[in-house]
Amino acid sequence: MRILGIETSCDETGVAIYDDTMGLLADQLYSQVKLHADYGGVVPELASRDHVRKTVPLIQAALKQANLTAADIDGVAYTAGPGLVGALLVGATIGRSLAMAWDVPAIPVHHMEGHLLAPMLEDNPPEFPFVALLVSGGHTQLISVTGIGEYELLGESIDDAAGEAFDKTAKLLGLDYPGGPLLSKMAQQGIAGRFTFPRPMTDRPGLDFSFSGLKTFAANTIRQSGDDEQTKADIARAFEDAVVDTLAIKCKRALDQTGFSRLVMAGGVSANRTLRSKLAAMMEQRRGEVFYARPEFCTDNGAMIAYAGMVRLKAGENSGLAVSVRPRWPLDQLPAVGAI
Q: What are phi and psi of 5, to 5 degrees?
A: -110, 135
Best CA proximity match to 39, nearest among 167, 185, 209: 167
Total number of residues shown for the chain:
340
Q: Look at phi and psi of residue 267 and say left if phi exceeds 0, alpha if psi is from -120 to 50, else beta.
A: left
Best CA proximity match to 197, nearest among 233, 242, 165, 161: 242
Q: Is 137 annotated as a binding residue?
A: yes
**Exposed, middle or buried: residue 300 (CB in 10 Å: 0-12, 13-18, 19+)?**
buried
Distance CA 108, CA 305 (A): 9
Distance CA 276, CA 282 (A): 10
Q: Is 167 annotated as a binding residue?
A: yes
What lies within 8 Å, CB to CB, of 81 at 6+ separation is 9, 88, 108, 110, 111, 325, 326, 327, 328, 329
Q: 3-class SS at 340?
A: coil
Q: Is 264 annotated as a binding residue?
A: no
Q: In angstroms, what CA-CA distances link 182 with 174, 196, 238?
A: 10, 20, 15
The string over 229-262, giving b where at least 16 C-beta atoms fall within 10 Å of a residue's C-beta and e elsewhere, is: eebbbbbbbbbbbbbbbbbbebbbbbbeebebeb
- Eight-state DSSP code of residue 336: P
Q: Is 51 annotated as a binding residue?
A: no
Q: Is 180 annotated as a binding residue?
A: yes
Binding residues for Fe cation: 111, 115, 300
Binding residues: 111, 115, 134-138, 167, 180, 272, 300
Binding residues for substrate: 134-138, 167, 180, 272
